[in-house]
Structure 1
Amino acid sequence: MKITHDNFGEMNSHPVTRYTVTNDHHVRMSVLNYGGIWQEFSVLTPQGRLNLLLSADSVENYQKSGYCVCQLIGPVANRIGHAQFQIDGHNYQLQANEGNNTNHSGDRGWQNHFWHVDTQINENSGQIILSNHYRPKDDGMPGVTNVQVVYTLDNQNQVTIDFYGHTDAATLFNPTNHSYWNLADRDARTVEAQELMINSEQHLAVDDGKIPTGQLVNNQDSAYDFKHGRLLGDALHEMLKTREKGFDDFFVVEPSTSMDHQPIAVLRDPESGREMKMFSDRNALVVYTANGMPDSVQLNRPGRSWVAIALEAQTLPDSVHHPEFGDIILRSLEPVHHQIRYEITY
């Protein structure tokens, strides 16, 4: 187990550093101090090293991609309707960066900040520890919030992302990592030949701005039915009749962070046998298939629709307007901890 770091360019005249943990099986995990970007999860194959994440080789290309590629999203992932919310009778207005709504916390979201970084090696794991101190002028949210995000790679080839938050005044806290996965070899142009299972029986109905209406829709016998696993290509071709021509949808999942319970999702590439199991302690999985990604983006796989699949674990979107979806209010003296875990076999 070892940890190294190297230069990854500049952003806003500040150096960007890449931190890399390599475990005893030569599996590598890299994270950037800018945007908390998860830049690499790579394994050795007979054809050489393969990054199973969609990634770029410079911070500029991440910014140009426009698809939140593997960024650390917070303090609130996904959308907040009408860019406003209320806590304890107080109204708060956010930046409307997607029509009348806020998406991924707007321009002041965590993905647009530099992070303080520490590293730690244990006997069977290595950690990249990101921390930051956010005031209302920094992230647009009420309260002064201290955040720590810990990326851990262990010798079982598992990656765990732990999110810790505490605040001096009530605010919102519903972060995720916008990781895009493609488990196939480099010549696979899309994820159509891969299989996906989601431990879900319902997804959220949304309006034209992708804001949940509050209605739950049954997945069974539809393109959204991944309960028992199915080929992504079959589901995606059904989705061609939708406006998005792919998935940009919010699945209600059964939370699970224990090996004794079913993962919220499993992605598998039948040809290579590679598999990723995903665990989360929250009740939503946002699935996005890079719909309409142009070929002009400079990533490790040529840009196109369905080149990779984003699997974003969080509490159900817009829960500030739908209390039945879950509580994402972070309160003074009530620190919060969330966890996402990825178990990869290859």
Structure 2
Amino acid sequence: MEFEKKIFGDLSGETIYEYTLTNSQGVSLSALNLGGVVTSIKTPDKAGQFSNITLGFDNVEDYLTYRPFYGALVGRVAGRIAEGRFNLEGKEYQLQVNEGENHHHGGNPAFESHIWDVSIEEGEASTHLIFKYFSPAGENGYPGNLVVTITYTLSEANEWKISYHAETDEPTLFNPTNHVYFNLSGDHTKTIKEHTLLVNSDLVGELKEDGIPTGKFLPVNDTDFDLREPVKLSKGITSQHPQLADKKGFDHPYFLAHRGSEPDAVLCDSESGRKVIVTTDCDALVVYTHNGVSGEYEINGNRVEPYAGVALETQTMPDAINQDNFGNIILYPGETFHSETIYQFEQVKGCLE
């Protein structure tokens, strides 16, 4: 396993480094100490040609100016919290409101905008990048001093494993994710509409217009939300289902079925032959098809347009603290939060074979 560290840029006088892990097959993962941002994952297509299959910038300024969360660690809580309010241990808390009337992706600035401490552990079959961050009590309104450790592992089996750990000194909320966007063509000027996606889920969370869950699960049966067999993303993007039409595509949390050894999700591109298999111990997977852009920005000299990538965000259901049936995101003193997600990269002749 090869390891490289180089200067990526500067933020308020502090150096931003890019760390790159490369296994013996040439598969590589690059990430920054800024927000744990994954700038690149290079994998071969079916002809053996390597390309970056994620969306990412080549400078610090674009990450902070546009905040598209490309490849970033998101927290303390991913997704939206209605009006930024919640009750914990009988006390009402008001978080920073940073998207309309709601709290979004931990506030601003949050995990993706801070510099993390990074260390490396090398092994024969895998190498680990270990990111650590101290989130002080009161940051963006959250209670408790939170110590977060997140490990990226690249293996010789072409797996990228994300392991999340956290501890707190008073009750708080924690529901992190990584906001990587995949475009398996290796060319962001091509959309992901022809990618196929399988999600092993019978239920999807219904959303209000502002993206806050209603608290209701919708059965996917006989709807364009049904991804239990591989389906082209274009079907959902052009769907007239009220939920999909309102968002102009997928931006929805799927409640995962976790059926034995079956994968939780599979993304595939027939043209390139690249496939990503997702397995996680999280309850939910948010599928977002990059339905809009947050500014007129470019990657490699080409403007980024809607549907340039698809995010597969593993987490507990959004706004879980305010919904009785969405799972638990409360972390107490004396507990250690642990979660793990694996993205495995493969090559296939065709996605529906």
Q: Secondary structure at the match of 1:325?
A: coil
Contact 1:148 1:164 in 2 (8 A): yes
Task: In structure 1, list runs of 5 or more residues that go unmatched.
Answer: none
What CA distance in whole angstroms lies between the structure 2 residues aligned with 1:132 and 1:230? 38
Corresponding residue of 2:256: 253
* Shift of residue 132, structure 1, vs aligned partner: 1.4
Amino acid at match of 2:256: V
Corresponding residue of 1:89: 90
Contact 1:29 1:40 in 2 (8 A): yes
What CA distance in whole angstroms lies between the structure 2 residues aligned with 1:183 and 1:56? 17
Task: In structure 2, list runs of 5 or more residues that go unmatched.
Answer: 348-353
Moved more, 32-41 or 129-138: 129-138
Contact 1:75 1:174 in 2 (8 A): yes
1:122 aligns with 2:126: no
* Shift of residue 66, structure 1, vs aligned partner: 3.3
Contact 1:239 1:245 in 2 (8 A): no
Contact 2:224 2:241 in 1 (8 A): no
How many residues of Structure 1 are paired with residues of Structure 2 in the alignment? 343
Equivalent residues in 2 for 1:225-244, closer than 5 Å: 225-238=226-239, 242-244=245-247
1:142-194 residue CA offsets vs partner (Å, 9 max, x unmatched): 11111100000000000000000011111011000001001114276101111
TM-score w.r.t. structure 2 length?
0.92
Contact 2:54 2:186 in 1 (8 A): no
Corresponding residue of 1:210: 211
What CA distance in whole angstroms lies between the structure 1 residues aligned with 2:149 and 2:99? 27
Corresponding residue of 2:15: 15
Corresponding residue of 1:339: 340
Amino acid at match of 1:57: D
Q: Secondary structure at the match of 2:235?
A: helix
Q: Secondary structure at the match of 1:50?
A: strand
Equivalent residues in 2 for 1:131-210, closer than 5 Å: 131-186=132-187, 189-210=190-211
* CA 1:82–1:295: 2 relative to 1, 3 Å: closer
Corresponding residue of 2:350: none
* CA 1:34–1:188: 2 relative to 1, 3 Å: closer
Amino acid at match of 1:37: V
1:317 aligns with 2:318: yes
Report runs of 4+ in structure 1 exceeding 6 Å deviation.
none
1:247-277 residue CA offsets vs partner (Å, 9 max, x unmatched): 1111111247xxx611211001112221100
* Shift of residue 82, structure 1, vs aligned partner: 1.2
Amino acid at match of 2:166: G
* CA 1:133–1:162: 2 relative to 1, 3 Å: same
Amino acid at match of 2:29: M
Q: Secondary structure at the match of 1:317?
A: coil
* Shift of residue 281, structure 1, vs aligned partner: 0.7
* Shift of residue 62, structure 1, vs aligned partner: 2.1
Q: Secondary structure at the match of 1:147?
A: strand
RMSD: 1.8
Q: Secondary structure at the match of 1:235?
A: helix
* Shift of residue 228, structure 1, vs aligned partner: 1.1
* Identical-pair percentage: 33
What CA distance in whole angstroms lies between the structure 1 residues aligned with 2:175 and 2:250? 21
Contact 1:255 1:282 in 2 (8 A): no
What CA distance in whole angstroms lies between the structure 2 residues aligned with 1:211 and 1:22? 39
What CA distance in whole angstroms lies between the structure 2 residues aligned with 1:271 and 1:176? 29
Contact 1:160 1:342 in 2 (8 A): yes
Contact 2:285 2:315 in 1 (8 A): yes
Q: Secondary structure at the match of 2:211?
A: coil
Amino acid at match of 2:226: D
1:37 aligns with 2:37: yes
What CA distance in whole angstroms lies between the structure 1 residues aligned with 2:326 and 2:247? 24
Amino acid at match of 2:68: Y
Contact 2:205 2:215 in 1 (8 A): yes
1:206-258 residue CA offsets vs partner (Å, 9 max, x unmatched): 222211111111112222111111111222111597232121111111247xx
1:22-42 residue CA offsets vs partner (Å, 9 max, x unmatched): 111111111100111011110
